[in-house]
Structure formats: C-alpha cells, structure tokens
Amino acid sequence: MSEHVNKTFVAIKPDAVKRGLTGQIISTIEDKGMKIMGLRMVQATDQMLEKHYEEHVDKPFYSELEEYMKDGPIVAVAVEGVHAVENMRKIIGDTDASEAHPATIRGRFAHMSMEHADDADSFYRNIIHASATEDEAEKELGIWFSEDQLYEYQNTFQQEVR
C-alpha cells in the first residue's frame, strides 16, 4: 500500500440517518474514490462517546452533545483512500453548514448554521463527522470497529493506479 493511502473514520450522525441521507452520503464517499472498509449501524453508548469525545467530557456542552449522538443510530464508516483523512474532511465540508461549499456533504444536506442554533438555544446538528488527523482516525476506528469488522480488498480505483 502506498504511503499516501490511509484510513479514516466517518460517523453519519443520528440526524442524517433519520433524514434518510445514509445512502447518498455513502455514495458521495465512494464517488470520490474512497473505499468503504467497514460499515455498521450502532446505537452509541455512554462509554463509546466518552472515549470518542474525551477532550470534551468536562465541557459545559458535553451533555447536549451526548444526548444528540444518542438520539438515534449512528452509521459508522471506515474509509480508506489516498490522503483519506485530509480528503474526507474536504468532502464533508466546513463544520458550520452555512459556510460549507455547496458541493460538500454538509453544503448539500445540512441546513442549520451555528449562529441560528445559538439564537434558537438549540444544539448544533451537522449530520456527519470525519476524523481530523491520522492519530484521531486510528483512535476512533478502534472505538467504533473491531478488527474483524474491517475488510481489506482492492477497489477499482486502486487497481487503476499502478
């Protein structure tokens, strides 16, 4: 495997699952040449969320974040590709949907700005998460997947690049 190919974690959050966006989001990821190595629908537990968001557990907004992430199932996706961590962050778009490019996942499907959420005294929902760094991806993949839930295979994009 090339040194430029890496793995990352993507979470399709409960609000996107409830809106029926899972298939379109997965198609967008695959259309960009990324390989799905693992895919599972899971109800987040307190323990999973505490590990995933360990840097936020003591912050005032954590209880709302935890409630949001437990509001329905999450579709956990393990993704592999060329510069997967960096490219998935570009594919999902800016955290604030009102700033996200229209061609990104958040630009296409998210509808709330952070400013609106604050004004409405509502928790900000942004439909998707992708790891920010390779270290974060490794940690998050370990939280949401066991090794036997990840599959190695060559997709057609990998076969074309020789």
Active site amino acids: 129
Structure tokens at 157: 């994009």
Exposed (0-12), middle (13-18) or buried (19+): which is 55, by Cβ within 10 Å?
exposed
What is the distance between the alpha carbons of residues 18 and 34, in angstroms, rounded to a whole number?
A: 24
**CB neighbourhood size of 4 (10 A):** 10
Give the whole-angstrom CA distance, residue 159 versus residue 155.
Answer: 6
